[in-house]
Chains A and B, each alone.
Chain A
Amino acid sequence: MNYILLSIFLLLSPCILIYCQDRPDNPPIIETPNEIDYLHEIVVDSLDIPWGMDFISENELLITEKKGELIYAVDGSKTQITNLPNVYVRGQGGLLDVALHPEYEVNNIIYLVASTNTEEDDKGGNTALYSAVLNLQDFQLDDLTLLYKATPNTNKGQHWGSRIVFDDQGYLYFAIGDRGQRDITPQDLSTDGGKIYRLNLDGTIPSDNPFVGEPGVKEAIFSYGHRNPQGMIFHPEKKQLWLNEHGPRGGDEINISLKGRNYGWPEITYGINYSGTIITNQTHKEGMEQPFYYWTPSIGPSGMAILTSDIYPQWKGNIFVGSLRFEYLERLVIEDDKVVKREKILDKIGRVRNVVEGPDGYLYVGVENLGIVRIIPKNETISLGL
Chain B
Amino acid sequence: MKLFLLGYSVASATIFFSIDQQKTLKQSIEDGKMIYTDFCLQCHLADGQGVEGVFPPLADADYLFEDINRSIAGIKYGMSGPITVNDVLYDGLMTNQGLEDQEVADVMNYILNSWGNSFDEIITSERVKSVESPND
Contacts and interface: CB of A to CB of B under 8 A. Distances in A.
Interface of A: 48-49, 66-67, 88-91, 93, 156-158, 180, 274-276, 327, 368-369
Contacts of B93: 48-49, 368-369
Contact of B80 (A91, A158, A369): A369
B97 A91 contact: yes
A91 B92 CA distance: 17
A90 B41 contact: no
B97 A157 contact: yes
Interface of B: 38-39, 41-42, 46, 54, 80, 92-93, 95-99
A91 B40 CA distance: 9
A157 B38 contact: yes
B114 to A, nearest CB: 14
Chain B binding surface SS class:
loop
Given A49-B95, A274-B46, A91 B41 contact: no
A276 B47 CA distance: 12
Given A91-B38, A157-B39, A369-B80, A275 B96 contact: no
A158 B36 CA distance: 12
A48 B46 contact: no
A181 to B, nearest CB: 11
A67 B97 contact: no
B23 to A, nearest CB: 23
A274 B41 contact: yes
B98 A369 contact: no
Contacts of A66: 95
Nearest to B45: A274
Nearest to B99: A90
Nearest to B100: A155
Given A157-B39, A180-B38, A274-B46, A369 B97 contact: no
